[in-house]
Structure 1
Amino acid sequence: MGLLGRLFGFGRPDESIMDESPNFDSIDLQKKTCPEMNIYKIRGRHPETKRLRTVRRVALEPADQEAVIASSGLYDIQFCEIEEQELPSERQINYAIDLGINLSDDYTKEDISCLITRAVHEEDRDDMIPVDLSLAKMVADHNICLSIFSGEKRALNALWFQLSKEEQLRFFIFCIHQNRLKCHSYDLEHSPYLDYYDRFVKEYKDNESLRRSLSGYVGSDLSLNKKPNKQRNAYKIANEFLIK
C-alpha cells in the first residue's frame, strides 16, 4: 500500500524577456523541473581512524555507485544504498489536497512542499524555472538534495548558503560575467575564465563595500534567466572589474 493508503486507508532566452518570470498555466503545476537526485548512505572505514563510519552523499541519477563510494573517502565498504526520503505529514497532504494538487504515492515531503509553494504563489512562478543540469550538478556536489519539483530559485538559494565566503565571491562574479555574455550555463567548474574569477576573489575578498552589498543577496538574485539588478553596489563593483 502506498503513501496515501497508509495515511488515509486507500490507494491511489531572449534578453527582452529576461526581466520577467515565465508565465505558467495551471496545467503545468506538477511539471518536473529538476533532474532526479538521491541521497546515498555509505558505510565503511575512515582512512585515518580505521573506524567504521556512515556518511551521506547526494548524487544525480542515474548515479555511478563507484563514483558515489569514491566521493565518501571511505574504504572497506560495508554497504552503499539509497536513503529513503522523509514522507509528508498528514497535515501537509490535507493542505495539498485542499489546494487541488493531485498526489502520488511516491511523493516525498519535499516534493509536496514544492508543489504547495507553486500552488500558493500563482503570480510568482520563479520556482518553476527548470534547473539546468550544470546547476543541479553543482548543488549535488555540495551535498544538497532537491525535489524533482524544485525550480531554479530554490536551487540557487539552497546552493548560495552552502558556499563559503570565497566561493560566494567566485560564483557571484561568474554569474555576472555569464549574464554579460548572455550565457545560461552554471558550469563554473569548466569555465575558461577560472583564473580571471580567482583574481577577482583575491582582489576583493577583503573589500568591505562589496561584502556589505553581497550580504543582502540570495542565490536567486544571480539567476541567468533574468537581468541582474544593476543598481546594487556589488554589481557595479563586479561590472567595473569585468570591463577593465
Structure 2
Amino acid sequence: MNYRVYKIKGKHNETKRVRTLKIEAFDEEDAINEALNLGLESINSVEIVPFDPPTERQLEYAKSLSIKIPENACKTDVSALINRAVNKDGEPNEGLIEFATNKRIFFSKYIGKTALYNLVFYELPDLDRVAFFVFSIYRYISDDRHANLDTHPYHEKFYEFAESVVKDERFMKSMKKYSGADLKFFGELTTSDGWTHTGGSVNTIAFKTAREFLIKNHLINNSAPYKSKQLHHRTSKTLILMDDEIEEFQANGFKVEKFGEVFRNDTANETYSTEEMPNDERDTNFKSSVVIGASVAFAIMFLYKLLFS
C-alpha cells in the first residue's frame, strides 16, 4: 500500500473532549497534520492500524492463477494482484503513480495501470478531472510520454482549459461518460500484432471541445491523427560499435544512445569496464557500448546486411 491507517486520539478544539480519529495518510507526520486540520488541537496518541489480511478464498484463487503472494501483502494488495492477473493489466508508469500520490489518492502498490487510471479519474475533484481529461487527449494525439500532469510543461494550459469548461453542464455531462480506462487511448488503436482496440470516444462534445482547445493553443497539430492510430513496435539491442559504425547506424535512421564504455588491453588480453580498468591501462581499442533503439523492420534489414552482404 502507498499509505497507512492511523488511529489518533486528541482533544477537539470546539468540544474540548477527547476524540478518536481514523486517518489514512502517507506517514505519521502526514496523519498528525490531517488530524489537526480536522479539528484536534492536541494529540494524545498515534497508533498504526494494521490492514486486513487476505482471506483464504483470496489466497486459493490467487494460487489457482499462479500468483506469488508477496510477504506482508494485505487483503487489498492481493485483490489488486488478482485483478491484474484476471484483466491482464499492465504496470502503471511512474508519472501516473507520482501524480496520484501527489493528489492524495491511496492505493495498493500492486495496482495495475487500467485500475489506477479508473481510480484517479474517479477520485479527482472536477477541476483536476477536466485537466486530466484534456491532458490525456493531448498525450495520445501528440505521443508525449510525460505522464505526470502536475510536472508537465503545459500544466497551466491544461488547467486554463479546465477553468473554462468546468461549469459548462453540456461539457461535464459529456465528459462523465468516460471512465479512467477510456483515457489510456482514444479512437481505434491497431497494435503491431494486427489487433485493433477501441478506446475513448472521439465523437463526444467533451473530446471535440478539448481537441479544439489544443489546436487553438498550438499544443497539437490539426492534421495529427486521432480517430485511428497504428502502434509501431520498437525494439532495442545492445551492441559494441566503433565510432565509424555509430555514424553509419545514425545515418540509416537508428537512434543510438551511449550506454557505457569498454576498453581492451592487448598485453593482458582481457576486457575491462571503465570502473574495473586501472587508469594506466586505458590505452587501446576504444569502443562504445550502445543501446540501439529502432523499429523491427530496421533491425531485420541490418541483420540481413550483416549476415549476407
- After TM superposition, give the deviation of residue 241 of structure 1 in Å: 0.8
Identity of aligned residues (%): 29
Which residue is 1:54 aligned to? Answer: 21
CA distance in 2, matches of 1:219, 1:94: 30
CA distance in 2, matches of 1:204, 1:166: 9
Does 2:90 align with 1:128?
yes
CA distance in 2, matches of 1:173, 1:50: 46
Which 10-residue stretch deviates more, 92-101 or 44-53? Answer: 44-53
Which residue is 2:5 aligned to? Answer: 40
Aligned positions of 1:65-214 closer than 5 A = 65-72=28-35, 73=37, 74-121=40-87, 125=88, 127-132=89-94, 134-214=95-175
Which residue is 1:10 aligned to? Answer: none
Q: Which structure shows the bigger proportion of residues in helix conformation?
A: 1
Secondary structure, in 3 states, of the residue corresponding to 1:159?
A: helix
Q: Which has the larger radius of gyration?
A: 2
String of CA shifts for 1:89-137, please: whole Å, max 9, x gaps.
Answer: 222222222223233452211222222223333xxx2x222342x4334
Structure 2 residue identity aligned to 1:243: I
Which residue is 1:219 aligned to? Answer: 180
RMSD: 3.1
CA distance in 2, matches of 1:101, 1:120: 11
CA distance in 2, matches of 1:224, 1:95: 31
Secondary structure, in 3 states, of the residue corresponding to 2:6?
A: strand
String of CA shifts for 1:171-218, please: whole Å, max 9, x gaps.
Answer: 212322344453334433344444433332232224344223312211
Q: 1:230 to 1:99 in 2, by over 3 A?
A: closer
- After TM superposition, give the deviation of residue 87 of structure 1 in Å: 1.5
**Contact (CA 8 Å) 1:41, 1:57: kept in 2 or not?**
yes
What TM-score does the superposition give when structure 2 sets the normalisation length?
0.55
Q: 1:213 to 1:56 in 2, by over 3 A?
A: same
CA distance in 2, matches of 1:188, 1:46: 37
Structure 1 residue identity aligned to 2:211: N
CA distance in 1, matches of 2:72, 2:115: 21
- The unaligned stretches of length 5 or more in structure 2 are 190-198, 217-309
CA distance in 1, matches of 2:91, 2:162: 29
**Contact (CA 8 Å) 1:39, 1:145: kept in 2 or not?**
no
**Contact (CA 8 Å) 1:230, 1:236: kept in 2 or not?**
no
Which residue is 1:235 aligned to? Answer: 207
Larger RCO (CA within 8 A; separation ≥ 6)? 1
**Contact (CA 8 Å) 1:38, 1:83: kept in 2 or not?**
no
Structure 1 residue identity aligned to 2:23: R
Q: 1:47 to 1:223 in 2, by over 3 A?
A: farther
CA distance in 2, matches of 1:131, 1:83: 29
**Contact (CA 8 Å) 1:37, 1:147: kept in 2 or not?**
yes
Secondary structure, in 3 states, of the residue corresponding to 2:83?
A: helix
Which residue is 2:260 aligned to? Answer: none
Which residue is 2:234 aligned to? Answer: none
Q: 1:77 to 1:182 in 2, by over 3 A?
A: farther
